[in-house]
Amino acid sequence: MRHAAPAPSPLDDTDAPLADPPTRKQLFAGFFMLGVTAFGGALPLAHRALVEKRRWLSNAEFTDLLGLCQFLPGGNIINMSVAIGMRFRGVSGALAALMGLILAPSLIVISLGAVYDRFQHDPHIQHFFAGLAAAAAGLLISMAIKITLPLRRKLPLMGIVVAGFVAIAILRWPLLPTMLVLTPLSVLVTWKSGL
């Protein structure tokens, strides 16, 4: 039986041993905690929970899975919960992970929506949401750096990362056409360079 190793440094790309595959109950509980704590920035917290803390996935596996989940329609973290649940426990694992992820946030967001509807013009509430947006942006930047680290030694792929950033963040090109160009290009570059 494999035991979870101490979490490696986020800057360390070693292949530390992974934990045993999670049960359906562990999938539900893990994604439930993620859903409860991940307001506005689920992917950075998902990386910390799935790679660094629980060791269900390696950093490289998380990056690969995130790439697939971003290409598919729907929310990235929702796609990821289904993919991880399916990987470890099949359809029932996918359902357990998905239900764990969306149960608490659905109830909380419905409640907060009712409160926000009533108090949205209050300056204190406006400042509160502006602060939350800033914190979420910081988490997103942190996660982007962490998932880019496995690619740092693969210059051709880093070129595609930079091209994607420039196209979407600077040139403000639409996401779908950019993905339709860069995805086959990244597959071709990976295949040709034997990465």
For the stretch 176-186, pLDDT in tens is 899 899 989 98
Residues 103, 183, single domain; the answer is no
Helix axes 59-71, 123-148, angle to 10 degrees: 120
Average pLDDT over residues 28-45: 84
Distance CA(141)–CA(77), nearest Å, equals 16
| Residue 61 one-letter amino acid | E
pLDDT band at 7 (very low <50, low <70, confident <90, very high): very low
Residue 43: closest CA among 171, 148, 176, 152: 148
Residues 77, 163, single domain; the answer is no
> What token pair was written down for 189?
């570059």
Q: Return the higher-pLDDT residue of 78 and 146.
A: 78
Q: Which residues span the domain enclosing 195?
A: 153-195
Residues 158, 137, single domain; the answer is no
CB-CB neighbours of 63 under 10 Å: 18
Write the pLDDT tens digit of every residue in 51-108: 999 999 998 899 889 888 888 888 889 999 999 999 999 999 999 999 999 998 889 8
Residues 85, 46, single domain; the answer is yes
- The distance of Cα 16 from the centroid of its chain, to the nearest Å, equals 20
100 within 8 A of 35, measured Cβ to Cβ: yes
Give backbone dihedrals phi and psi of 55, rounded to 5 degrees, phi first. Answer: 60, 40
pLDDT at 144 over 60: yes
Distance CA(5)–CA(12), nearest Å, equals 14
Residues 162, 108, single domain; the answer is no
pLDDT band at 174 (very low <50, low <70, confident <90, very high): very high
Residues 132, 190, single domain; the answer is no
Distance CA(87)–CA(180), nearest Å, equals 26
Domain assignment of residue 61, yes or no: yes
Geometric angle at alpha carbon 188, from 186 and 192, rounded to 5°: 120
Distance CA(184)–CA(39), nearest Å, equals 32
pLDDT band at 131 (very low <50, low <70, confident <90, very high): confident
Residues 147, 94, single domain; the answer is yes
> What token pair was written down for 52?
């660094």
